[in-house]
């Protein structure tokens, strides 16, 4: 009998244990997921902001739906073997049944993990002002619903708290302990601004993997993996780094074509046709066509 393959959740948990810390880059579509895999990463991330901006041209204000996210999850997991952590915002609905269904749909689409946050349903980007936080017991109920929704016990439920900005670190830590007690496997304290703050969380929650969100142009400085490992961080997230670079490059190319009538001056920032083919495995597809139908 063939050996049973490890589940995505198991792969993610193993990656967290093996890598100190685990670097998790964001991918906004299947092809960028493949590029990240080819660069040697061991896990990937799908950002709610990335789904909104890249797939729908919308801001990160809770406008996209569960189905919108599930479709992008499905596309990425079909193209890439790396375990995928998915942002499900506040759970896509006001009730425990909505949250349970969200976890079930994301897991069924091939993801390894989700993170669920304690913002109000009308949410904002975690690095923007005026965030509103739900009461602690409401978030505890969200976590319990998420845990109840998973089929694979190794599928990861990660709790994100945005409480630092509104309530301070003592409250954020108190909430985090309650979220872990409710069944969350890992913790994502959002928008920390000092290394010492990460150490407070890791010291207070021994054995609980802590994620640091090193997003650009936000509240958190560009701490290195070495610095973060030194304060007990187990995962480092780069949610939109590649997307920001892709977007800047695309705008430069569009401007050049519009202004100069040619793209000749920006060829140096483009991926070549052959590089594209290499990452896609294009030639193997052609060889299969030749084997099936013969060269003509």
| Residues that are catalytic | 45, 60, 87, 89, 115, 117, 125, 160, 190, 213
3-state secondary structure string across the chain: CCCCCCCHHHHHHHHHHHCCCEEEEECCCHHHHHHHHHCCCCCEEECHHHHHHHHHCCCCCCCCCHHHHHHHHHHHHHHCCCCEEEECCCCCCCCHHHHHHHHHHHHHCCCCEEEEECECCCCCCCCCCCCCECCHHHHHHHHHHHHHHCCCCCCEEEEEECHHHHHCHHHHHHHHHHHHHCCCCEEEECCCCCHHHHHHHHHHCCCCCEEEECCCCCCCCCCCHHHHHCCCCCEEEECCHHHHHHHHHHHHHHHHHHHHCCCHHHHHHCCCHHHHHHHHCHHHHHHHHHHHHCCC
Closest by alpha carbon to 104, among 139, 63, 73, 83? Answer: 73
Closest by alpha carbon to 194, among 151, 150, 228? Answer: 228
Residues in the chain: 296
């Amino acid at each position: 009998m063939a050996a049973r393959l490890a589940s995505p959740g198991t792969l993610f948990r193993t990656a967290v244990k093996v890598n100190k810390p685990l670097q998790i880059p964001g991918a906004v579509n299947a092809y960028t997921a493949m590029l990240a895999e080819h660069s040697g990463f061991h896990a990937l991330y799908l950002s709610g902001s990335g789904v909104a901006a890249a797939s729908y041209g919308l801001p990160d204000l809770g406008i996209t739906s569960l189905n919108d996210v599930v479709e992008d999850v499905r596309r990425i997991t079909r193209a890439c073997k790396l375990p995928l952590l998915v942002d499900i915002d506040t759970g896509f609905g006001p009730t425990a049944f909505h949250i349970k269904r969200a976890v079930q749909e994301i897991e069924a689409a091939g993801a390894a993990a989700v993170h669920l946050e304690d913002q109000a349903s009308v949410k904002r980007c975690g690095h923007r002002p005026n965030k509103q936080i739900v009461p602690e017991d409401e978030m505890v109920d969200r976590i319990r619903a998420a845990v109840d929704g998973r089929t694979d016990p190794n599928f990861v439920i990660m709790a994100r708290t945005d409480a630092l900005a509104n309530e301070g670190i003592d409250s954020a830590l108190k909430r985090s302990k309650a979220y872990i007690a409710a069944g969350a496997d890992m913790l994502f304290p959002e928008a920390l601004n000092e290394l010492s703050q990460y150490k407070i969380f890791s010291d207070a929650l021994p054995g609980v993997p802590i994620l640091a969100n090193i997003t650009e142009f936000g509240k958190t400085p560009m701490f290195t993996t070495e610095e973060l490992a030194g304060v007990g961080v187990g995962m480092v997230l780069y949610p939109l780094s590649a997307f920001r670079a892709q977007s800047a490059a695309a705008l430069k190319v569009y401007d050049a074509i519009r202004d100069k009538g040619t793209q000749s001056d920006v060829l140096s920032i483009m991926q070549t046709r052959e590089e594209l083919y290499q990452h896609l495995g294009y030639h193997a597809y052609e060889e299969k066509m030749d084997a099936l139908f013969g060269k003509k």
